[in-house]
Amino acid sequence: MDDIARAKAAAGRRAADFVEDGATLGLGTGSTVQPFLERLAERIASEGLTVRGVPTSEGTAAIARELGIPLASLTEVDRIDLTVDGADEIDPAFDMIKGGGGALLREKVVACLSAREVIVVDPAKVVARLGTTFRLPVEVVPFALPVVERAVRGLGLEPRLRDLTGAAHAGGYRTDNGNAILDCAAPDGIVDPARLELELDAIPGVVESGLFVGLAHTLVVGHPDGTCDVRERA
């Protein structure tokens, strides 16, 4: 296990300490969330915790089922007590870029229902300004891709269609919702995340952006030595 993996494992496992018996949980997506799921399963087995989780991706749902974590759908849930998720970048105001794993839409729906959102990261994900180390994902209805691409360029971003090797769809990468993703570079970083989020949401054909503004409450930064910094949003 390398230093980044050790840091992610420390953060994910530490976040499981926030889970209380009887909680409805949001289960995030990504490599930092998997150690949380593993530790949560350990606590269920050893302590008899009674919880249910709403997964933010099909991948997370599969892992949770394998680990024996009970799942629930949004049909059964109108409020989530605690969500644990990762981030591709998080700034000092706890605003984030998410969506590297393609689950940004479901992650944002779950985050908006959550009384507390705990974000787990390794130190490299903490940045002074969003958009400086990671492209901003924007989920787009495939039909509207040309229109959205032009509009995004008009906002000063440089979009690139996500097209992963081995994608199951002839048109390239698709999210669990059947949509495409434009990964958008911000040459000078994102100066005003809240404004940009509104501008992107106003473009017809945009389903959701990876800007998560005002949704994180607690940040857990893991380190390779197994320690964690826990910070609360002011």
Q: Is the dihedral of CA 75, 77, 79, 81 positive or negative?
A: negative
| Tokens describing residue 102 | 């393609």
- Exactly one of 89, 107, 139, 149 is catalytic; name it: 107
Q: How far is CA 105 from CA 5, 97, 133, in A?
A: 26, 12, 21
Alpha-helix runs per DSSP H in 52-155 = 58-67, 104-112, 145-154
Measured on CA atoms in the order 52, 175, 144, 97, is the torsion positive or negative? positive
Name the β-bridge partners of 219: 119, 231
The residues, any chain, with a CB within 8 Å of residue 166's CB and separated by 6 or more, are: none
3-class secondary structure, 78: coil
Is 107 marked active-site?
yes
Question: Hey, which residues are catalytic here?
Answer: 107
